[in-house]
């Protein structure tokens, strides 16, 4: 990353705990009954910026330091009555629980946002990328690789005779089949490849950094993996399936072809594969 961005990131990582240390120094100098409140903003900032464990640890350190500082006279506050002692203990307790509650709420919110982001970007049935996410990520991936030495390849895949599966075995069997095919395809791909569901029984794949020959070999491997896979033995399931694949490589479309153009060319090749008998790879 750029040096300026790295420096800015470091600043925001250390700023919350720095503000907490500054507040500790200020309240050590000033003291008085209001000293408990001096560190509250810093603790809340830490709770929103760090993990729940780190925020809890900082709260514990602050509370222990507060009690030790009052006991040793470092913090200029001497309780005059029993009610002052009780008030101090309640204040220290709230000082510990308040940031902890904020940290837990922040962690829960972050987890909910991650789940929401995953739900938006992924197909809810198969778990692969949704159409919009595939197009967005695929476009960025293609821009990085299509001008390289190897280039990139795009596939369109369609489950053969899928309507018959729904008609004969029910939509539940069709959903089960799509889930199984998506898992089989994902298992044959590399970590850097993209797999998404375009809708219905159609999937798309983006293969970065492959030659035309390598892309065709991967397409054949995917087709064969689906054909050999056993998808279920129970009632209302379809045990076997095949896919037709249309494949196009960026080198055949020019260096400035975007993902939409490549998908359209792959879709044309897919229709040719189905017209030629299905369960095959057609290269565009």
Distances in Å between the Cα of 109 and the Cα atoms of 38, 103, 116, 235 are 27, 10, 10, 42
Domain ranges of the chain: 3-121, 131-283
SS (H, E, C) 120-162: HHECCCCCCECHHHHHHHHHHHHHHHCCCCCCEEEEEEEECCH
Residue 184 has pLDDT above 50, yes or no: yes
Q: How far apart are CA 249 and CA 214, in angstroms?
A: 10
CB 246 within 8 A of CB 271: yes
Q: How far apart are CA 155 and CA 216, in angstroms?
A: 10
Annotated active-site residue 201? The verdict is yes
CATH code, 131-283: 3.30.70.270
Q: Which two tokens stand for residue 250?
A: 């960026």
92 against 16, higher pLDDT: 16
In the sheet that 152-159 helps form, which strands lie side by side, from edge to edge? 194-199, 202-208, 152-159, 243-249, 281-283
- Check residue 1 and give its pLDDT: 47
84 against 187, higher pLDDT: 187
pLDDT band at 67 (very low <50, low <70, confident <90, very high): confident
What pLDDT digit, counting tens, does each position of 68-81 carry? 888 887 777 776 67
Residue 48 has pLDDT above 80, yes or no: yes
- Check residue 6 and give its pLDDT: 58
Please identify which of the residues 24, 201, 260, 276 carries the catalytic annotation: 201
Residue 239 has pLDDT above 80, yes or no: no
- Check residue 237 and give its pLDDT: 61
pTM for this entry? 0.68
Q: How far apart are CA 222 and CA 245, in angstroms?
A: 9
Residue 233 has pLDDT above 70, yes or no: no
């Amino acid at each position: 990353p750029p040096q300026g961005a790295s420096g800015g990131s470091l600043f925001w990582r250390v700023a919350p705990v720095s503000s907490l240390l500054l507040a500790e120094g200020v309240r050590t100098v000033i003291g008085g009954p209001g000293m408990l409140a001096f560190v509250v903003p810093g603790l809340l900032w830490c709770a929103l910026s760090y993990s729940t464990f780190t925020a809890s640890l900082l709260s514990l350190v602050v509370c222990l330091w507060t009690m030790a500082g009052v006991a040793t006279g470092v913090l200029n506050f001497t309780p005059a009555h029993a009610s002052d002692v009780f008030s101090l203990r309640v204040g220290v307790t709230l000082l510990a629980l308040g940031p902890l509650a904020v940290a837990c709420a922040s962690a829960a919110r972050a987890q909910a946002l991650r789940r929401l982001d995953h739900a938006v970007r992924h197909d809810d049935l198969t778990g692969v990328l949704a159409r919009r996410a595939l197009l967005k990520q695929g476009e960025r991936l293609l821009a990085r690789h299509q001008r390289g030495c190897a280039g990139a390849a795009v596939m369109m895949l369609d489950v053969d005779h899928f309507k018959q599966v729904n008609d004969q075995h029910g939509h539940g069997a069709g959903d089960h089949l799509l889930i199984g095919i998506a898992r089989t395809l994902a298992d044959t791909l590399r970590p850097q490849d993209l797999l998404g569901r375009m809708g219905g029984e159609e999937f798309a794949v983006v293969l970065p950094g492959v030659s035309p020959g390598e892309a065709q070999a991967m397409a054949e491997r995917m087709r064969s993996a689906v054909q050999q896979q056993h998808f279920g033995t129970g009632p209302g399931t379809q045990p076997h399936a095949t896919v037709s694949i249309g494949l196009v490589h960026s080198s055949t479309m020019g260096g400035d072809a975007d993902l939409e153009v490549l998908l359209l060319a792959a879709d044309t090749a897919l229709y040719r594969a189905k017209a030629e008998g299905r369960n095959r790879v057609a290269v565009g």
